[in-house]
Structure 1
Amino acid sequence: MPEIIKQAIYNADKTECLEIGYQVSSDNGYIQIVPFPATIKKVPKTLPKKITSLSWAFKGLQTSSVEGIQNWDTSNVETMECMFYEAKSFNQPIGNWDVSNVTNMSGMFFNASLFNQDISDWDVSNAIDISAMFYGATSFNQDISNWDTSNVFYMYQMFYNAENFNQPIGKWDVSKVKNKNNMLFGAKSFNRDLSKWDTTNVYHFKPPEKKSNFNSYQKTNWTNNKNSSKSKNKNSRTR
């Protein structure tokens, strides 16, 4: 069980958080925000500096926006894993966040089906895991071609069922990526040239499904990678 450092305080109907709670994560020792109820509409404008994890913060969020988060200083945050997991109505501008210290963005917008905001200026240069980041984010189609992905190890299921995504990510540095299994599975609109990707370190990769528009797969060396396999990786992200 996580050790509660500070209890969260809410108004009567739990639509407004008056004081943000945080706890020591039992998994990794992060100072983790206490996840908000799905009904939350407003939070304090100041994020406590102690917080290093925003994992699962807005799981199942029922609203399209949360007043206050646009002002958060996230420069101390190291993980945003599943932050907006199943937040199916969420579509708020958060492109001004400082994510330069975040290493884990896996599942961040998992099934956040309406999210389609400009996050092109995010500094993701320290990100290691962006697997399933836009899994089921069916509306997302923003230009993130300038992201620095040079430290990323895990991209599996990143755009799984992201049906509208079709941006030029062919210049991404994926030389450290070990697993991109099902990365574009169900990304039906995607049809960009990825032939220049360095996939020499990839151990797990499954080609895009046949129903996809993606045809530049044939021009890549992915199938010839001596380390590639069709082995399955875990799908579930539930708590």
Structure 2
Amino acid sequence: YYVKWGDGTEKEIIFNDGYPSRTLTKGKKYRIKIKGKIWRYGDDEIVNSNIYLTEVIKLGATNLSGAFYGATNLVKVPKRLPKGVYDLSGMFFECTNFNYPINNWDTSQVTNMSAMFAFASNFNQPLDKWNTSQVTNMSAMFYSASNFNQPLDKWNTSQVTDMSGMFASASNFNQPLNKWNVENVESIDSIFWLATNFNQPLNDWNTSKMTNMRSIFAGAIYFNHPLDKWDTSQATDMYSIFWKAHSFNQNINNWNVSNVSNFSYALYQAYSFNQPLNNWNVSNISDFSFAFCKAISFNQPLNNWTLSPSSPTSLGIKMPYMFYGASSFNQPLNNWNMSNVNIINNLFENATSFNQPLNNWNVSNIRTMNNLFKNATSFNQPLHLWNLSNNQSSAVDDNSDIDDNNILPLITTVPKINNMLDYCGMSQYNYQLTLVGWHNNFINLEKPSISFDAVGLAYNSSFSDVSAAHNFFNPTGDIDINFQN
């Protein structure tokens, strides 16, 4: 093909010539013409390649993927698309000044619109006339298109399989989508992530093929509409599905979560949520990390939950920070089968209302219990039936993100219980009972390398069994009533 640079020069470009370039005088406007046979115009790999592009008069290629990538000064494009265009992915990516009407474009052959307006922060033009009947990929289409708020309810989405991140960070978007046909969509991962204004009904969506439901409403702080009609039977991942969805409080107790393996951060800081979940089949879930962390209103029974008796993963079930700061939660959990759980650090930390028996828990496989009841100021239950002598622990930093990568080889024969009882509400009687009960499991066993804090708790060393148990574990921060007297 040939390139006319607009300064009187022309160059023929052949296959091996690489990317054509020319230095032009700064401050002038040039009309550059490309003529010949090309199948694609655009490149999303060359940084600043379009920074000086202000207007496109005519287009001829059928693949316009990344056509105007990073064209921050682009303000005008053709009123018509070339016939047969099938790929518009990333076309206006980071075109931060673009806001030209393109509603009359013929998009009837387009199959890919992924990231088309991503980071096009000024764009807010109608698109309701577009024919989207062939589109299969709309992922990240309006990602961070922070000004966009136009009706799209007439779009034909029947062929779309991927809507992940479609309106993520589209902070102004709030339009009806309930009539969309999403029966072929498999992933809506992060579709409304940080879509802070979005609050529209979606209950009529056919979600029967959706496997990835990660972060759907994460940070959608105003969303609060029923979702009880959703078919979640194929969903495998609900990581942070309602993370910081501060307003959401709808009944989803009929959801089928039997195939879900990841429920971590699911209701993290879902401040308003307080709905039943007791009908859920959670037997396949292996990660509950931060699930109800700071869900300050939640106080619903979970005693019907049956944890997997056999490991869904080789690393067992994780529950760190599950009820951290869930200040209203106070429900029975004593019948949970904990035999396959291995991480529960910070589980009830700052859960200031929690005070339920847990003595039936089988903690034999738990590796770390650090900060388990720290600042759980109402907790006053004995734990003397817990057998710590069979536990194994790994060097997991209790302040780090819990994932499979920071589980180190087993190095001790007891769990990490640092700060486990700090400032909890355990009475002197229950604390002594717990110490003695734990100690009894280590009789005739070598003294383990174990230490923990029990700041704010009291014991009386005048009782010989209490004194022996305390000397064995040597907790710090507690108060010897006998010594004070």
1:197 to 247, 250, 255: 255
1:27 alignment counterpart? none
Following the alignment from structure 1 to structure 2, what is the Cα–Cα distance between the partners of residues 136 and 217?
26
Q: Is the 8 A contact 1:194 1:220 kept in 2?
A: no
The structure with the larger Rg is: 2
1:17 alignment counterpart? 77
Q: Is the 8 A contact 2:105 2:130 kept in 1?
A: yes
Deviation per CA, 1:52-104: give whole Å up to 9, x if none: 1101100112235224x221100000010000011111111111110110000
Deviation per CA, 1:117-160: give whole Å up to 9, x if none: 01111000110000100000010000111110011010100000
Q: Is the 8 A contact 2:245 2:269 kept in 1?
A: no
Unmatched 5+ stretches in structure 2: 1-37, 43-54, 58-70, 290-401, 404-485
Q: Is the 8 A contact 2:252 2:277 kept in 1?
A: no
1:173 alignment counterpart? 231
Following the alignment from structure 1 to structure 2, what is the Cα–Cα distance between the partners of residues 21 and 90?
25
Task: Kindly state the Cα deviation for residue 230 of structure 1 after the two structures are TM-superposed.
Answer: 4.0
Task: Kindly state the Cα deviation for residue 51 of structure 1 after the two structures are TM-superposed.
Answer: 1.9
Which TM-score applies when normalising by structure 2?
Answer: 0.43
CA gap 1:5/1:168 in 2 versus in 1, 3 angstroms: same
Task: Kindly state the Cα deviation for residue 14 of structure 1 after the two structures are TM-superposed.
Answer: 2.4
Q: Is the 8 A contact 1:35 1:58 kept in 2?
A: yes
Following the alignment from structure 2 to structure 1, what is the Cα–Cα distance between the partners of residues 200 and 149?
13
Matched, 1:119 2:153: no
Q: What is the number of residues matched between the two proteins?
A: 223
Q: CA RMSD in A?
A: 2.7
**AA of the residue aligned to 1:10:** V
Task: Kindly state the Cα deviation for residue 218 of structure 1 after the two structures are TM-superposed.
Answer: 4.2
2:131 alignment counterpart? 73
Q: Is the 8 A contact 1:157 1:183 kept in 2?
A: yes
Unmatched 5+ stretches in structure 1: 25-29, 234-239
Paired residues for 1:70-109 under 5 Å:
70-109=128-167
Q: Is the 8 A contact 1:34 1:57 kept in 2?
A: yes
Bigger relative contact order (CA 8 A; separation at least 6): 1
Paired residues for 1:119-158 under 5 Å:
119-158=177-216
Q: Secondary structure at the match of 1:71?
A: coil
Runs of 4+ in 1 over 3 A off after TM superposition: 6-9, 19-22, 30-34, 47-50, 217-220, 230-233
Deviation per CA, 1:22-65: give whole Å up to 9, x if none: 9x9xxxxx834451123222225133433211011001122352
Q: Is the 8 A contact 2:191 2:216 kept in 1?
A: yes
Matched, 1:49 2:108: yes
Q: Is the 8 A contact 1:52 1:76 kept in 2?
A: yes
Task: Kindly state the Cα deviation for residue 204 of structure 1 after the two structures are TM-superposed.
Answer: 1.2
| Identical counterparts, % of pairs | 32
Which TM-score applies when normalising by structure 1?
Answer: 0.83
